[in-house]
Structure 1
Amino acid sequence: MKKRLKVGFWELIARIVLKNRLAILGVIFLITVFLALQWKNIQFSFTEANLLPDNNEVNNQYHAFLEQFGEEGNLIVVGVKDDTFFTPKAFAAWNQLMTSIKAQKEVDVVVSIHDLKQLQKNDSLQSFEAVSFVDPTKTNSQDYLNSLRKELFTNMPFYEGLLFNKKNGTIRSAIYLDKKIVNTAHRKEYIVKDFIPKITAFENETGIDLRVSGMPYIRTLNAISIVNEIGLFIGVSLLLTSLIFFFFFRSFRATLIAILIVVVGVMWTFGLLGLFHYQITVLTALVPTLVIVIGIPNCIFLTNKYQQEYSVHGNKAKALQRVITKVGTATLMTNLTTAAGFATFIITSSQLLKEFGIISSLSIVALFFLCLIVIPIYYSYQPVPKPKHLEHLNRNYTRVFIQWIEKTVKYKRRYVYLVALFLFLVSIIGAFKIKTSGSLIEDMPKNTGFYTDILFFEKEFEGIMPLEITVDTKRKKGVMKLSTLRKMDELQKTIEEIPELSKPISILNLVKYTKQAYYNGNPEYYELPTSQEKSFILSYAKNGVKSNTTNLMKSYVDSTGQVARITTFMRDIGTGNMAKIEEKLWDKANQIFPKDRYHVVMTGKALVFEKGTQYLLDNLVTSLLFAVLLISLLMVFMFRSFKMVVVSLIPNLLPLFITAGLMGYFGIPLKPSTILVFSIAFGLSVDDTIHFLAQYRQELANNNWKIKKSVFATIKESGISMFYTSVVLFTGFSVFLLSDFGGTVALGGLIAITLAFGMLSNLMLLPCLVLTLNKSLANAQEFIEPKIDVLSHTQDNDDTEY
């Protein structure tokens, strides 16, 4: 009776679908229109991915820093390394460029050679004056520009590391954007429509190649690259998977409906992003392509089942009904396991991963219902399959492949186990070689101009990724105490000794500059005042003057004079190197700043990203174990057999170990992108296992519980569909190899490799395990009545009409 109720459920669904075709299509149309209207809410992310939970201490410290000093990633740098820079024509063009940039409302401060200010002592007023370093009336003289260059590199240590590299002769300007626009769409509009055209015009006029970098600039061009790749991935994946679909079925009608279904699925995905007001990030940008890659195999499986049924009895109505009744639960469960692989990211505390998990899992489940409903309805209006459309069921290459699988399982089972064991052991060794990477720019497109410029600034100015250190003196005006300044000087000297870090910037630089100015600009006096000098030098400073530089330095001390900020910039370094640098800085900070008198915090976007990567690594095992547990529970619910759970897990865990081993041997690090591989690939690979075991259980019933006969019947019945779907998935994920983003390339390539091994494992190792573990069974002990009838036994006297 229980079994009849289960069968009846899917028969009821089949009748509802096939007898209310137009009404159901109308509902799908309305859902599509509704979700399409949500597209207006879609926004693109204007910041880097924050992988840490919102309440994480590192995040809290970073947000506290932003509240106190404002957005730290508002600096754009424009650099030039060209011998012709200090010539009248080039210098005049540079002045014009910087003046036009400075005039924009989006720009806060521009610090550049063209209007550089230097401090001079005015004894009569007992103050410092900010006078122009450049005399604009003399810039037409080559001799003057030569002397200007010499004066800059010799007597202006305050600007060294900020505006020039004395060793290599590199010049740059520092452009600080208005902090209010840094994380908004206005930033992109300004950089693309105003800033970049000005840079291009200068290069065309002078023939000098400018280098541009800084977080606002990098974020903008990186986001544009992400958006451009969305269209590329959707187009290429749709083209390739459709061609494969057509190659398998040789039917334009079948290919057309598959394309239509996944296109609607992509529309729904974008609609869900808008409905939940989620931003398009480097992760959520992948979901539309995933929908295509996962949707086409669904269409293959259902279309193949329809044609198989029709080829058996030639009854179109019965074949359409059985597409739903015989494989409805199996397809549902395979899609649920796939969705579960993505849904594991929802349990993390990272908002970025949560959004990716929610959108991807919902899209996959929605796609299942779309495929299960639309395909039978579509074929109900189409003519019956022609003989040429059924030829793929007995095509030579598929028959040869399946026969090879059968022979291997039948006669070479021992070798299958030996190869599996060998791959496992070798993979374990390789897995221990895996390194981690917490680089903020490692996955950025390397064939772009802005990435080349990043490397330029790393070489010339030690990087552009900000690392911030704040020193709270716990008393008002405590920063300007000579004892505090000396401690800061010790810490800054330690920073300068670290090759991966740039020359630090703080209020200390300005204090040193005031002493140099007091001694008539002699660079030998660019140092902290002594106790005796402090009183009369700072008395001059109290009557100081305003300039771009001194205004800029005010952002390095809070309004009460209690908290000082030290900024340095870092090269592109990995998680391990970052940890060593952090440890060295903390050792020095703890040594010179007693905790009872000072509170030191280390933060900055680069550090937050590195900590986020470490957080993901720490949660990798948890996430993967959750995926294994969730999918195991689904298997238990379906088969009610612990032995079958073990049988199902081994062939799917082995490919994960192989992938981990390959990562170790080929030097592919664990990073935010590659961490996702394991849960996603596991969820996809288990689909083949479910199809195989579900078919196997049905074959047992059909063959009087003869295990060996049932296993080989299962290989013949399910092998072709497993092969087809695996080829589509492999090809689909290989599309990501076209990406300019290293992380996306690694994600696509590793998942494709894992799925290829997963297919072979499920077609060879899985049946071997079933034969071995069930060798002593003479009945269906391992297949007691399941909770879910994965492959329903439908009566032959179906009465479905449409």
Structure 2
Amino acid sequence: MKKMLSIGFWEFIARVILRNRIIILAGVVSITILLALQWKNIKFTQTEANLIPADDKINLDYNSFLKNFGEEGNLVVIATKDPKLFTPGAYKAWDELMTSIQSNKEVDLVISITNLKKLTKNDSLETFELTPLVNPKKTKSQEYLNQVKSELINKLPFYQGLLFNKKSGAIRSAVYLDKKIINTKARKEFILKKLIPAIETFENKTGIDLHTSGMPYIRTLNAKTIIDEIGLFIGAALLITGLIFFFFFRSFRATMISLVIVIIGVMWSFGLLGLLGYEITVLTALVPALVIVIGIPNCIFFINKYHQEYQVHANKAKALQRVITKTGTATLMTNITTAVGFATFIATNNVLLTEFGVVTSINIIALYVLSLLIIPIFFSYIPPPIPRHLGHLEREYLTSFMNWIVRTVKYNRIGVYISSVILLVIGIIGIYEIKISGSIIEDMPKKTTFFDDIRFFEKEFDGVMPLEIMIDTKHKKGVMKLVTLKRMEELEETILEIPELSKPLSIVNLVKYSKQAYYNGNPEYYELPTAQEQAFILSYAKNASQNSKENLLKSYVDSTGQFARITTFIKDENGEKMDAIEAQLRAKANKVFPASRYNVIITGKASVFQKGTKYLLDNLLSSLLFAFALTGGLVAIMFRSFKMVLVSIIPNLLPLLLTAGLMGFLGIPLKPSTILVFGIAFGMSVDDTLRFLAQYRLELSRNEWKIKKSVFATFDDAGISMFYTSIVLFFGFSVFMLSSFGGTVALGGLVALTLFFGMLSNLVLLPSLVLSLNKTLVGKQEYVEPIIDILEPSDEEVDQVERKKTNP
């Protein structure tokens, strides 16, 4: 009775769709136009991905640092190793470049050899003064420039590691951007339209190659690459899925309507981003291409069912109606499970992943609705399929493949289980080889100039990724006490002992430089003052700091003098060592700074990103367990059988473990991009499981509850659609391997591979498990009537409902 009511519902839906075609199409067009109007609200994110919840202590510490010292990632560095820089012509061009950069309103400060100032003592005023290192009137002399270079390298240790590398001769300039624009569009405009053209002009004029880096620069070019690739992904996904679709169906019209549906889906996805006010991030940038890859299998399922129905009775109207009545609930449930796979990201308590989960899950359901509405309406207007269009149902390569599957399940189930156990063991062994990566730049395009520049700065200046240490003295003006400075120096000595970290920068460097200046610039006195010297040297430094325009303290000490900052840089390739490095720094800080008198925070973008990766990894297991529970719950509701819950999970768990094992063997680390593989792949792979089990239950009722006969009959119907959709998904996700981002390449390749394993698992292991676990079934009484029936109704049941509608 319940099944009859279900058929009646979908028969009603079919009648509504086919009798209101113009109204429905007008509604689709109207929704598309309304969502297209939201495109104007789309914005690209101007910040890095923060994977940690806002209320987590890690974020609270980082925000505390930003509150006291402002945005840390405002430094752009420009460098060269070319010795021609210290020739009159090149030096003049370098001076002009730095002057032009400084003239921009987006720039707060430029520190370069051309405007470098050194501390000198003014005894009459008892203060230090900043005097120019270079006399611009003498820079036409090669001899003078040689003297400047010698003085910089040999007499100004304060600038070692900041502006020059004494060993290699590399020279760089530091460009500090206005902190207010770092997370705004103005940063992008400055980098792309002002800074890069100015640098290119210098290079063309002098023939000197410059290297440019720093977080603002990296973020801008990285974001530009992401935007450029959105169009690449959409175009490639349309092309590949369209070609595969046409190869299967040999119908230009069916291919075109499928592409129209997914294009509408893409337009809706952009409109949804604008409507919800979500920014385009490295994840949401993938959504339009995902819409295409996920939408085409829906079209395949509906069109394949239409062709199957038409082949049986050659009645177009009846075939279109039965596409809806016989697949309505099943396709809805499979789309829901896919949406659930993506929706699990919502439970991570992370804004970036939550937005990705919301947008993708809504778009998946929207694609289902579009396919359900447009495909029957489109085919109702065009002539029925010709024999060439139906030929795919009996192609030799397809029937040969399915026959091999059937033979394997029928005669070699022991071999299937042995192979599965071997693959499981291999996967588990590989899992132990997986490494965790918290590298910010690992997923960035490696074939770009700006990536090469990152490596240059890591080699010459020990990295560009900041690691910050903030020291709270708990008292105003506590930083400038000699005891505090000595404690900071002791901590900095530990930093210098860690090979992965650069030379630290802090108020300690400035105080040492002050002592050197007090002793007339003698570099031998570059050290902290003694207790006897501190009174007059520190008073000189404090007097110098009163000049607001040239306050050298402001970057390293807050306005109250309570908080101090130590900045070091870490080579990003050593992100995996971050925990050990922080543990070493924390142990030293706890020893040097008593908790009763000081509070020490270790933070910075490099640290936050690494911890964000670990947070995401910790949530991976809970998200997958949540996905398993939801899927198992759906199966339990639909089948009312624990055996079916078990059968639905095992074939989808094995591909995930096998993929994880391959990641370990191939050296692919767990990182934000690859962690997403498992939730996405599981949500999509379980579709085939539900389709197979739904068809299997139907075949049981058709074949007098004979298990073997029902299992093998299932292949004749569900097998083809499972094969088609899996092939489309495999090649569809392979599109992401065209990306220049390592993370996107890994995501596409691993999801494609997992789905391929999932197809084989669902076609071979799943039916084998069904046969083995259901051997003890006596008959129909073993199957409890499901709460929700997703089974495809038989022709007799549909005909019975139709007769009742016709003859009430």
TM (norm. structure 1) is 0.98
Matches of residues 733-744 of structure 1 in structure 2 within 5 Å?
A: 733-744=733-744
Alpha carbons 2:696, 2:710 under 8 Å: kept: yes
Q: How far 1:552 sits from its partner (Å)?
A: 4.6
What residue identity is the alignment partner of 1:792?
P
Which residue in the other structure is 1:614 paired with? Answer: 614
Distance 2:692 2:51 in 1: 37
Q: How far 1:384 sits from its partner (Å)?
A: 0.4
Alpha carbons 2:500, 2:574 under 8 Å: kept: no
| 1:382 paired to 2:378 | no
Which 10-residue stretch deviates more, 115-124 or 76-85? Answer: 115-124
| Partner deviation per Cα, 1:438-478 (whole Å, 9 max, x = no partner) | 11111111111111111110001110111111111111111
Among 774, 796, 799, which residue is 2:799 paired with? 796
Which residue in the other structure is 1:371 paired with? Answer: 371
Which residue in the other structure is 1:763 paired with? Answer: 763
Secondary structure in 1 aligned to 2:175? strand
Matches of residues 495-510 of structure 1 in structure 2 within 5 Å?
A: 495-510=495-510
Matches of residues 89-104 of structure 1 in structure 2 within 5 Å?
A: 89-104=89-104
| 1:684 paired to 2:684 | yes
Q: How far 1:480 sits from its partner (Å)?
A: 0.5
Distance 1:786 1:172 in 2: 71
Secondary structure in 2 aligned to 1:796? helix
| Partner deviation per Cα, 1:183-203 (whole Å, 9 max, x = no partner) | 001110111111110000001
Which residue in the other structure is 2:71 paired with? Answer: 71
Secondary structure in 1 aligned to 2:179? coil
Alpha carbons 2:346, 2:358 under 8 Å: kept: yes
Alpha carbons 2:7, 2:798 under 8 Å: kept: no
| 1:296 paired to 2:296 | yes
Which residue in the other structure is 1:174 paired with? Answer: 174
| Partner deviation per Cα, 1:67-103 (whole Å, 9 max, x = no partner) | 1111111100001111211111111110000000001
What residue identity is the alignment partner of 2:373?
I
Which 10-residue stretch deviates more, 233-242 or 784-793? Answer: 784-793
What residue identity is the alignment partner of 1:692?
F
What residue identity is the alignment partner of 1:222?
N
Matches of residues 46-65 of structure 1 in structure 2 within 5 Å?
A: 46-65=46-65
| 1:605 paired to 2:605 | yes
Which residue in the other structure is 2:280 paired with? Answer: 280
| 1:535 paired to 2:510 | no
Secondary structure in 2 aligned to 1:172? strand
Distance 2:540 2:766 in 1: 83
| Partner deviation per Cα, 1:608-661 (whole Å, 9 max, x = no partner) | 111111101111110100000011111111111111111111111110110011
Distance 1:539 1:326 in 2: 87
| 1:625 paired to 2:620 | no
Alpha carbons 2:68, 2:563 under 8 Å: kept: no
Alpha carbons 1:130, 1:547 under 8 Å: kept: no
Identity of aligned residues (%): 66
Alpha carbons 1:111, 1:175 under 8 Å: kept: yes
Which residue in the other structure is 1:243 paired with? Answer: 243
Matches of residues 593-742 of structure 1 in structure 2 within 5 Å?
A: 593-742=593-742
Alpha carbons 1:476, 1:562 under 8 Å: kept: yes
What residue identity is the alignment partner of 1:60?
L
What residue identity is the alignment partner of 2:84?
T
Which residue in the other structure is 1:346 paired with? Answer: 346
Alpha carbons 1:423, 1:658 under 8 Å: kept: yes
Which residue in the other structure is 2:577 paired with? Answer: 577
Alpha carbons 1:126, 1:540 under 8 Å: kept: yes
Q: How far 1:150 sits from its partner (Å)?
A: 1.1
What residue identity is the alignment partner of 2:55?
N
Alpha carbons 1:109, 1:548 under 8 Å: kept: no
Which 10-residue stretch deviates more, 723-732 or 645-654? Answer: 645-654
Q: How far 1:780 sits from its partner (Å)?
A: 2.6
Which residue in the other structure is 1:228 paired with? Answer: 228
Q: How far 1:547 sits from its partner (Å)?
A: 8.0
Which residue in the other structure is 1:561 paired with? Answer: 561
Matches of residues 360-439 of structure 1 in structure 2 within 5 Å?
A: 360-439=360-439
Distance 2:452 2:318 in 1: 62
Distance 2:678 2:783 in 1: 29
Distance 1:583 1:166 in 2: 30
Provide runs of 4+ in structure 1 moved above 6 Å: 545-549
What residue identity is the alignment partner of 1:626?
F
Distance 1:545 1:651 in 2: 69
Distance 2:401 2:87 in 1: 72
Distance 2:404 2:169 in 1: 67
What residue identity is the alignment partner of 1:796?
D
Q: Aligned in 2, Cα 1:575/1:600: closer, same or farther, shift over 3 Å?
A: same
Q: How far 1:782 sits from its partner (Å)?
A: 4.6
Secondary structure in 1 aligned to 2:86? coil
| Partner deviation per Cα, 1:33-56 (whole Å, 9 max, x = no partner) | 111111111110111100000100
Alpha carbons 1:109, 1:552 under 8 Å: kept: no
| Partner deviation per Cα, 1:271-308 (whole Å, 9 max, x = no partner) | 11111100100011111111100100000010000000
Alpha carbons 2:234, 2:288 under 8 Å: kept: yes
Q: How far 1:542 sits from its partner (Å)?
A: 3.6
Alpha carbons 2:545, 2:551 under 8 Å: kept: no
What residue identity is the alignment partner of 2:605?
K
Alpha carbons 2:307, 2:385 under 8 Å: kept: yes
Q: How far 1:127 sits from its partner (Å)?
A: 2.3
Which residue in the other structure is 1:468 paired with? Answer: 468
Alpha carbons 2:439, 2:572 under 8 Å: kept: yes
Distance 1:20 1:407 in 2: 47
| Partner deviation per Cα, 1:407-460 (whole Å, 9 max, x = no partner) | 111111111111111101111111111110111111111111111111110001
Distance 1:443 1:519 in 2: 49
What residue identity is the alignment partner of 2:477?
K
Secondary structure in 1 aligned to 2:544? coil
Q: How many residues align?
A: 801
Q: Aligned in 2, Cα 1:169/1:702: closer, same or farther, shift over 3 Å?
A: same
Which 10-residue stretch deviates more, 352-361 or 779-788? Answer: 779-788
| 1:198 paired to 2:198 | yes
Distance 2:328 2:3 in 1: 15
| 1:45 paired to 2:48 | no
Distance 1:125 1:587 in 2: 43
| Partner deviation per Cα, 1:242-264 (whole Å, 9 max, x = no partner) | 00000000001000100000000
Alpha carbons 1:130, 1:546 under 8 Å: kept: no
| Partner deviation per Cα, 1:379-426 (whole Å, 9 max, x = no partner) | 011100001000010011101111111111111111111111110111
Secondary structure in 1 aligned to 2:171? strand
What residue identity is the alignment partner of 1:6?
S
| 1:8 paired to 2:8 | yes
| Partner deviation per Cα, 1:664-693 (whole Å, 9 max, x = no partner) | 111111111111111111111111111111
Secondary structure in 2 aligned to 1:557? coil
Secondary structure in 1 aligned to 2:793? coil
Q: How far 1:545 sits from its partner (Å)?
A: 6.9
Distance 2:664 2:537 in 1: 59
Distance 1:795 1:506 in 2: 79
Distance 1:120 1:782 in 2: 94
Unaligned runs of 5+ in 2: none
| Partner deviation per Cα, 1:689-711 (whole Å, 9 max, x = no partner) | 11111111111111111111111
Distance 2:127 2:182 in 1: 36
Q: How far 1:784 sits from its partner (Å)?
A: 2.5
Distance 1:611 1:643 in 2: 40
Q: Aligned in 2, Cα 1:145/1:549: closer, same or farther, shift over 3 Å?
A: farther
Alpha carbons 2:337, 2:683 under 8 Å: kept: yes
Q: How far 1:548 sits from its partner (Å)?
A: 9.9
Alpha carbons 1:436, 1:574 under 8 Å: kept: no
Secondary structure in 2 aligned to 1:719? helix
| Partner deviation per Cα, 1:559-612 (whole Å, 9 max, x = no partner) | 111111111111114554000000000011000100000111111111111111
Which residue in the other structure is 1:80 paired with? Answer: 80
Which residue in the other structure is 1:185 paired with? Answer: 185
